């Protein structure tokens, strides 16, 4: 009968451990729900975006001229076709329509003379022709 208190204490310990384990399982189920995972990912993305934005603002404050140059170069690269078209239209508008346009030089066709006919050389004698004669 001395084992009864030990068994009772062990059973109480088992129940306490089971309760703690069930609570851990509930917490894990809550943590791994798709809704919870999505909201945590969204919050982390917002924090990361805010950090990047702060870093960008700090970089612009430190070097405004360099950042302006980069932005201008990027804008010109992206808008290169419209800029080219506008430059062509401006050039066309600035040149007078009354001015005669220079003509392209006419290509002179070179006349080639046929080479003079050469006299044919007599055919070389082959061994067969020598034997036959």
- Specify the pLDDT at position 14: 96
* pLDDT at position 107: 66
Q: Residue 76 contacts by C-beta under 8 Å, 6 or more apart in sequence? A: 83
Domain boundaries of the chain, sorted by first residue:
11-58, 63-94
Q: How far, in Å, CA of 59 to CA of 68, rounded? A: 11
Residues lower than pLDDT 50 in the chain: none
Contact criterion met (CB below 8 Å) for 46 and 38: no
d(Cα 118, Cα 69) in Å, to the nearest integer?
73
User: What is the four-CA torsion angle of 47, 48, 50, 55, rounded to 10 degrees?
Assistant: 140
Task: Provide the pLDDT for residue 50.
Answer: 95
Quote the pLDDT of residue 125: 60
pTM of structure: 0.38
């Amino acid at each position: 009968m001395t084992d009864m208190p030990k068994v009772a204490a062990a059973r109480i310990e088992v129940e306490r451990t089971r309760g703690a384990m069930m609570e851990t399982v509930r917490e894990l189920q809550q943590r791994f729900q798709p809704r919870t995972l999505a909201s945590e990912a969204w919050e982390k993305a917002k924090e990361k975006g805010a950090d990047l934005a702060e870093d960008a603002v700090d970089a612009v404050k430190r070097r405004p001229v360099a950042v302006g140059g980069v932005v201008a170069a990027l804008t010109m690269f992206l808008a290169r076709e419209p800029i080219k078209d506008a430059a062509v239209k401006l050039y066309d508008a600035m040149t007078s329509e009354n001015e005669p346009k220079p003509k392209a030089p006419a290509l002179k066709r070179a006349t080639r003379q046929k080479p003079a006919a050469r006299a044919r050389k007599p055919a070389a004698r082959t061994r067969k022709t020598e034997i036959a004669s």
